Amino acid sequence: MLKSDRTFFLRPQDMIGIAVLAFLLIVVLPLTLDNFRLQFVGKYLTYAFVALGLVLCWGYAGILSLGQGVFFGLGGYCMAMFLKLEASSVEATKIQTTPGIPDFMDWNQITALPYMWQPFNSLTLTLIAVIMVPALFAFIVGFAMFKRRVGGVYFAIITQALAAIMTILIIGQQGYTGGINGITDLRTLNGWDIRTDSAKTILYFVCVGLLIACILIAYFVKSSKLGRILVAMRDKEDRVRFSGYDVANFKVFVFCLAASLSAIGGAMFTLQVGFMSPSFVGIVPSIEMVIYAAVGGRLSILGAIYGTLLVNWAKTSFSESFPELWLFGLGGLFIAVVLIFPNGIAGLWQSYIAPHLGPLFGGAAKRRASPPATPPAAPPSGTAAPAAAE
């Protein structure tokens, strides 16, 4: 097994897992769901990027960030700014006092495009910004905190405060950000109308493609030496430090990676849903994103995707029929996932279902059944591993 790890970063069972997920997302769902529902799935999948980042950051490296919504929002806003500028061409906005700037700026008596918005005239710069702006922000925050060995609960609280700050800032600076309504009325991407059903279907497949690419990146990081150091660091930080590694750098890296992944999700969200608002940035959405990863299994890359889909599907169907019950359900989910099944769906799968699949599928599945040895060996509580090990 070790040998195969060295030659290729995907184990056979991972490849089967990814193939099943890809088949589900590319073939099964588009064939069985109508357009309306498929767009919902597309929206959920944008959150899956965040959950993916959290698996790396929280599950593997033990850094719980309660501010992932900030990065999701930054990515989304970068995209939205580009689309908004394209939608506010001089012809389209000629009834405004100042034509050529977004409508909400005009309503707020701003007469020229702010410098902050200038780079978003170009698609290339926008795409770079989607990845780089959140990563840079994460770098500043992570560097300042991890170098001083701030971690655990303190980090969680401070990232949560950042989410609060970001929301208040966006809502307060209405003229520059669109305020509480966010950036709405987005129409075209380089001349291509994104509001039609066919465009939305295409964007769904783009989203799935990007997600699978990101899953591969996540697997690559996980199976690399870096991934092993991250896990070692989570379980016994001091020992890794004493072995000569600069722990902070690894933490900063994984935090930035998680931020960029979230931002890609945010940008895809803007494209598919057609607007971006501060309600996806704040404390509540940020912590909800943690539950997606937790339900799916904080140690499982694929689990996080299923967790996101499942929680969001439950949210939509509950809010449609019993809006009162949903908060009970969500709250209960938080408690259950912590107390009863800390490894989420992936943990349940590996301990109850995977062993029974062995006889059905013969040899190939036997290998699939063997992994339970790995995750349950890591104590059920990702972050508390050191305490439990002693």
Which residues sit at the interface with other proteins, rule CB under 8 A?
58, 64, 66, 141, 144-145, 148-150, 152-154, 156-158, 160-162, 164-165, 168-169, 171-172, 283, 287, 290-291, 294, 324, 327-328, 330-335, 337-339, 342, 381, 383-384, 387-388
| Separation of first and last alpha carbons in the chain | 28
339 vs 377 by CB, closer to other proteins: 339
Q: How far is the CB of 28 from other proteins (least distance, A)?
A: 32
Q: How far is the CB of 149 from other proteins (least distance, A)?
A: 7
144 vs 353 by CB, closer to other proteins: 144
Q: How far is the CB of 66 from other proteins (least distance, A)?
A: 8
| Distance (Å, whole) CA 275 – CA 76 | 9
CA distance to 22, 50, 241, 277, 297, per residue, from 212 (Å): 7, 13, 33, 26, 18
Q: How far is the CB of 50 from other proteins (least distance, A)?
A: 16
Q: Report residue 219 CA to chain centroid gap.
A: 15
Question: Exposed, middle or buried: residue 234 (CB in 10 Å: 0-12, 13-18, 19+)?
Answer: buried
Question: φ, ψ for residue 188 (rounded to 5)?
Answer: -130, 155
179 vs 266 by CB, closer to other proteins: 179
Q: How far is the CB of 334 from other proteins (least distance, A)?
A: 3
CA-wise closest residue to 261 among 294, 297, 225, 212: 212
81 vs 290 by CB, closer to other proteins: 290
| Distance (Å, whole) CA 86 – CA 123 | 10
Q: How far is the CB of 241 from other proteins (least distance, A)?
A: 17
Q: How far is the CB of 284 from other proteins (least distance, A)?
A: 8
- Which residues are bridge partners to 189 per DSSP? 192
273 vs 291 by CB, closer to other proteins: 291
Contact 199, 193 (CB under 8 A): yes
| Distance (Å, whole) CA 369 – CA 376 | 13
| Distance (Å, whole) CA 293 – CA 308 | 7
241 vs 367 by CB, closer to other proteins: 241
Beta strands, E only, 119-190? 188-189
358 vs 386 by CB, closer to other proteins: 386
Half-sphere exposure of 310 (CA within 13 A, CB side): 19
Residue type, 280: F
